[in-house]
Amino acid sequence: MTFPAELKYSKDHEWVKMLDGATALVGITDFAQSELGDLVFINLPQEGDEVTADEAFCDVESVKAVSDVVSPVTGVVEEANTELEDEPQKLNEDPYGAWIAKIKDISAFGELLSAEEYEAFIEKK
Amino acid sequence: MKLIFEKGAPGQHLSLLPACDVPEVEIVSPRAEAPELPHLSETELTRHYTALAKRVHGVNDGFYPLGSCTMKYNPKINEDMANLPGFTNIHPLQPEETVQGCLEVLHTSAKLLGEITGMDAMTFQPAAGAHGEFTGLLLIKAYHKNRGDEKRTKIIIPDSAHGTNPASAVMAGFTVVNVPSGPDGCVDVEALRSAVGPDTAGLMLTNPNTVGIFDRNILEITKIIHDAGGLCYYDGANLNAVMGVVRPGDMGFDVIHLNLHKTFSTPHGGGGPGAGAVGCKALLAPFLPGPVVEETENGCHLAVPEHSIGRVKNFCGNFGVVVRALTYVLTLGQEGIPEAAKNAVLNANYMMKRLSEKYTMAYAGPCMHEFVMDLQDLKAATGCSAMDIAKGLLDHGIHPPTMYFPLIVHEALMIEPTETESRETMDEACDVFLALWDLAHENPQALHDAPTRTPVRRLDEVGAARNPVLKYTPND
């Protein structure tokens, strides 16, 4: 399981990659995809959606269950990764490459951890 | 195995249909192409359906402890009653005076089921549980709207709820507010208190809940909702644990649905059909779907309630299912109904105790009619998941328990034996569960490979979900 050092992580198992001061890519962590199992469907946010830190903005479905994806930031969806609609398995195969949404106008962050802190957090679970 | 469309040959036929007793009419605009119907002899047809029947598993084949589904035995007397000619040779558009017996069945069923649940009125139109939820929520919506209180847009649902609850609420046009469960598996009362407000339309709750625990704060919970101006909806999925012992109406619920195909022993699965009867307190009765049966001095009549939300299904719903459920209620009677509930609880506790020898329980006992095991530690120790144990059970002729539900338990197996299983059957099943636990430690690969003795091996669930093939294309 990998946790790239350049990313930030939420306790709800999302990652954040800052592109500039107010724009970021978000996705789900390697730990999240491994816990969820093989993903078969994603319900993506729409361009222009306002998202709020610590509130669900997307959901993913595995053969086990449907799970909310909780936004780690407050902002506006600039773009959703529509490639995932046809190939949700990319979330399993390449969790840090398969970003879910690009969020712009970020005005607030939820609690975010460093790679080291996140790894320690999931080990405790 | 071949589909029926791939069997037979032109020229084969059978004579199962009775002679036509009405004048034959030629269809004026015939189809451009003949429909591709199978041509089979009676022998071939019988063999086809017998072969299909051999490949399924139902309560008549073996143990079926599917949690939250109450797969109890369906007594054959139910079928005898539903097959009486007075119930089968009728038409829904027949004059009322010629179907008084049928209307009386609906009226008596509403009265008896209302007594069991503490409700004042009932509709039998909804065809299944989720359909009942949707109908019940429309009643709540109509109630608030009728009072001119249009701000109530939110339905509160605990995180242990059946997935259909939030789905039904959204379908009915509400916004869902999730409240967490405490470590005891019950609703976090303080979280509930802070979630209610002038926008609260109502609460949806299952009691006992999906982890098999009776929420002891239920009176406080329904009071919090009522004090905030909302109404309380009871999901009847788990009524089997308490029927005839405690009434949802007395717990403070205003509207409920009953899964007649679970609790009241009518056929379940494979299309049933089901029946999600919806009962309510008097304050919601004017909004019920119509028609409902009213009893007068001159017999029973169908009438549409004053502020009816309209029909949710044609005619009076799946009438034959109501006949079966009424048969069950009358067969068991006032003493048998609570006795069945108590035995359902006793059976679940018996299995929980025996399986506790090796398996970890998600919540400490005693349980109600079902219990949830948490297989996270087994998975960590052996690599065998709840899915692998479930697949292993198939090789022993046991239908797996509900898996990966409720979502608040991670490697969940949820077991509901029901009251209609004998101690011997439960002992055999417990022996299998305990043997599979040992197998997981001794030879995990054997469980990863299971099932090996079923007509088909492990199915590709991921492939089926990612690339569903939903349409049959005939081979030319």
What is the ipTM metric for this complex? 0.75
Nearest to A77 by CA among A55, A44, A29, A110: A44
Contact list in B for residue A67 (CB cut-off 8 A) is 407
Kindly report the nearest CA distance between residue A64 and chain B, in angstroms: 6
Task: Please state the φ and ψ torsions of residue A39, each to the nearest 5 degrees.
Answer: -85, 140
Interface of A with B in 27-86 (CB under 8 A): 35, 38, 40-41, 61, 63-67
The predicted structure's pLDDT at residue B390: 97
| Other C-beta atoms lying within 10 Å of the C-beta of residue B83 | 11
**Distance in angstroms (rounded) separating the CA atoms of residues B435 and B228:** 52
Contacts of B403 in chain A (CB under 8 A): 64
CB B225 within 8 A of CB B205: no
> Searching chain A, which residue's CA lies closest to the CA of residue B463?
A40
Mean predicted confidence (pLDDT) in B62-89: 96
Grouping H, G, I as helix, E, B as strand and the rest as coil, residue B46 is helix
Q: What is the pLDDT of residue B419?
A: 98
Q: Which DSSP string do the residues of B80-103 spell out, in sequence order?
A: HHHTSHHHHS--TTS-GGG-HHHH
Interface test with B, best of A40, A93, A125 (most B CBs within 10 A): A40
A-chain residues near B466 (CB < 8 A): 40, 88-89
B200: buried, middle or exposed (CB in 10 Å: 19+, 13-18, 0-12)?
Answer: buried
Greatest CA separation for chain B: 73
Locus of tokens 């492939």? B463
Nearest to A40 among B163, B404, B465 (CB): B465
Rounded to a whole number, what is the distance in Å from the CA of A90 to chain B's nearest CA?
Answer: 12
Asked if B177 contacts B203 with a C-beta cutoff of 8 angstroms, the reply is: no
Map residue A16 onto helix, strand or coil.
Answer: strand
Place of tokens 């960590």: B380
Q: Cβ neighbours of residue B462 under 8 Å, at least 6 residues apart?
A: A38, A40, A63
Query: Would you list the DSSP string of B194-211?
Result: HH-STTEEEEEE-SS-TT
Predicted confidence (pLDDT) at residue B476 exceeds the cutoff of 70: no
Length of chain B: 476
Per-residue confidence band for B35, with pLDDT thresholds at 50, 70 and 90: confident
pLDDT in tens, A30-51: 999 988 889 999 999 999 999 9
> Nearest residue on chain B to A37, judged by CA atoms?
B462
State the best of B409, B410, B460, B466 to mutate against chain A, taking most chain A CBs within 10 Å: B466
Radius of gyration of chain A (CA): 13
Instruction: Say what the pTM is.
Output: 0.89
Question: How many CA atoms does the CB half-sphere of B110 hold within 13 Å?
Answer: 25
- Report how far residue B222's alpha carbon sits from residue B281's, in angstroms, rounded to the nearest whole number: 14
* DSSP helix/strand/coil, A2: coil
Structure tokens at B430: 């417990």
- Say what the pLDDT of residue B213 is: 92
